[in-house]
A and B are shown apart, each in its own frame.
Chain A
Amino acid sequence: MKVMIIGCGRVGSVLANRLDEKGHQVVVLDRNQQAFRRLSEKFSGERIVGNGLVEEFVRPTLQEKTDILFAMTDKDNVNLMIAQRVKRHYDLGKVIAVVHDSILAGLYKELGVETVCPTDLVIKDLLKMIQES
């Protein structure tokens, strides 16, 4: 699969490393060159320094068939805008936005934007641990 990851933070970088290890074609984009330090030395994918909201930085990757795009910068609103714009302009298999605000994440699901909410996931895990204790 060809996967684009926008935002090479703590989660984005690990996801990139894992997918790369599994043999997928991975493109990682971040505004900050330093962020790529988080990638493993063995990482064989492409690194792009740029702003995920600016067409020029995503077009070269997305104009060729891409299966999944993850918008996972540290800003919810940036991720939501990237996801919505990319969905309108390109034909991708899947577009996923990481949204930390639980209410926003739910709201945009109603709008047809696929969201993942780390806050909800952590809470779910914690609740489970409490129940098991």
Chain B
Amino acid sequence: MGEVMYIVIVGAGKVGYHLGKLLITEGHEVMLIERDRTKVNLLSFEFHDAIMEGDGSTVEVLREAGTNRADVIVATTGNDEDNLVICQVAKLMFLRPRTIARVNNPRNEELFTGLGVDASVSATKIINAVIEEQVKAGDMLIPLLTLKEGNVEIVEVELSRSSHIVKKKIKDLILPTGSIFIAVIRGEEVIIPYGETEFQPEDKVIALVKRTSEQALREML
């Protein structure tokens, strides 16, 4: 771990709460600022002196939180306008801590950077990136049944038009070791596949696969 930092977090929602806990566990000094008194009372059992009530976009509250000696300030509220003002005020009024803002609407990311926020994090963007990665990695394997303590699975895959095996016959495919196709569902029909079976888009393929071969199967599809 690097040196101990003092980090001010504004907003004790899910993001602020977990971030705060994590940073404290890592040995950093944290101050959590939250507007809602009920939330503050609830969390004070966990955060003790590391939580305070107040509007984090006002100079008085930020000063009281010790922003002047903060290394980093993170604005995690659910309102972009609040996160922007928090970061701007922190930059202008205090000894220039590094400012990080959560961006709720990804379209605001560029504006934040242009207006002096050092870094912005958009959950929507991160989730989109993860999903895109998954989609690119091939069609998703839906686990139907797990056998042998999770070492063997029966999975279902719906073939998209872009699947590598569409319009190909089973006999022409090289299946990853540790996997076998056990059924193809085409509309209402269930096909027990054999060498001549040719895959079509929207086929649902049921396969038996060892956990260790799952990635290879996903890549093949």
Contacts and interface: CB of A to CB of B under 8 A. Distances in A.
A101 B82 CA distance: 14
A104 B85 contact: yes
A115 to B, nearest CB: 12
A65 interface: no
Given A110-B92, A111-B92, A81 B85 contact: yes
A101 B88 CA distance: 15
A103 B59 contact: yes
Contacts of B60: 103
Of B57, B82, B88, B115, most A-chain CB atoms within 10 Å: B88
Contacts of B88: 80, 108, 111
A25 interface: no
Interface string B42-83: 000000000000000111100000000000000000011110
A60 B178 CA distance: 60
Interface residues of B, number: 18
A76 B82 CA distance: 9
Given A85-B111, A88-B114, A101-B58, A107 B82 contact: no
A91 interface: no
23 contacts: A53-B80, A55-B107, A75-B81, A76-B85, A77-B79, A77-B81, A77-B84, A77-B85, A80-B81, A80-B84, A80-B88, A81-B80, A84-B115, A88-B114, A88-B115, A103-B58, A103-B60, A104-B58, A104-B85, A104-B89, A107-B59, A107-B92, A110-B92
Given A75-B81, A111-B88, 14 more contacts: A53-B80, A76-B57, A76-B85, A80-B88, A81-B80, A81-B81, A84-B111, A88-B114, A101-B58, A103-B60, A104-B57, A104-B58, A107-B59, A111-B92
